[in-house]
Amino acid sequence: MERRQLAQMIDHTLLKPEATVADVIALCVEAAELGTYSVCVSPTFVATAVANVSNGVKVATVCGFPSGKHESDIKAAEAKLAVQQGADEIDMEIDLGRAIMGDWDYIQSDVAAVRAATAGKVLKVILETAALTNDQIEQACLRCKAAGADFVKTATGFHPTGGADVRAIKVMHDTVGGVLGIKASGGIKTAEFAQELIAAGATRLGLSGSRAILDGIAATGSY
C-alpha cells in the first residue's frame, strides 16, 4: 500500500474541546495536502469544515459524543442537523453501560434512530471496545449491522480504558468484516501500530496525528 492509498483510509481528526475555528481551517488545509479521506470535527464546526475542505475531502462529525448518554431522539436530531449542514459521515456513540448490561435491543434501537435521521450518509458506530469483552464486541457489531450502520468503530479516544487494539479489530473483522467497515481510532500514534491494525482488519483509521503516521509509513518503506 502506497502512502496515497493509506491517506485515503484516514479520517483526519480534531475533537479537542479547546479547538478553535482557526484550528479547524488548518485541519482542512492539511487534510487536502495529505490527501486524507475526510476530516472529523465537532458538531459546532461542521459548517466551518464544509466551507474549507477541498481536494475531495469529506466531512465527518460525531453525535452523542463522547459519553453516548443521550436519548436516542437527541442523537438523531444532532445527526440530522449535521447532515443538513453538509456532513457526509456521522460517528455516533452508543450507550456503553447498556452494552455492558447486555441490553442489545436498546443498542439496536439507538443506532436505528440515528440511521433513520441520516439516510444516504455514512454512519459509523463507536463501541468503546477497550471496555467490552470479546462477546460484547461481537454482539454490538451484530446489532449495529441489523440497525443499518455502515461501520463499527473502536473508540472515542476519550475513555480511560483506552482506544484501538488488535484484539478488538480482529473480533470486529471476524464478526462483520466484509459487510461493515471497521474504523480503528483512539491512541494510534505510530506507523507500526497503524499497520498492525490494518493487518487485523481495519478499513478506516481515525487519526489526529495523520502527518506523523504517513511520514512514518514513508520512512519504513512499507505499506
List the beta bridge partners of residue 62.
91
73 is catalytic: no
Q: 91, 95, 110, 150: which one is catalytic? A: 91
Phi, psi (degrees; rounded to nearest 5) at 21: -60, -45
182 within 8 A of 204, measured Cβ to Cβ: yes
Integer Rg of the chain from CA: 16
Distance between CA 70 and CA 67 in Å, rounded? 8
124 is catalytic: no
What are the residues whose beta carbons fall under 8 Å from the beta carbon of 50, sequence distance 6 or more? 59, 85, 86, 87
Distance between CA 93 and CA 67 in Å, rounded? 7
140 within 8 A of 107, measured Cβ to Cβ: yes
Q: Cis peptide leading into 66, omega within 30 of 0?
A: yes
List the beta bridge partners of residue 41.
14, 61
Tell the residue number behind the cell numbers 452508543, with chain if given: 94
Q: 80, 153, 165, 170: which one is catalytic? A: 153
Host H or E run for residue 11: strand 10-14
153 is catalytic: yes
Report the half-sphere exposure of 136 (CA within 13 A, side-chain side). Answer: 19
Residues taking part in catalysis = 91, 153, 183
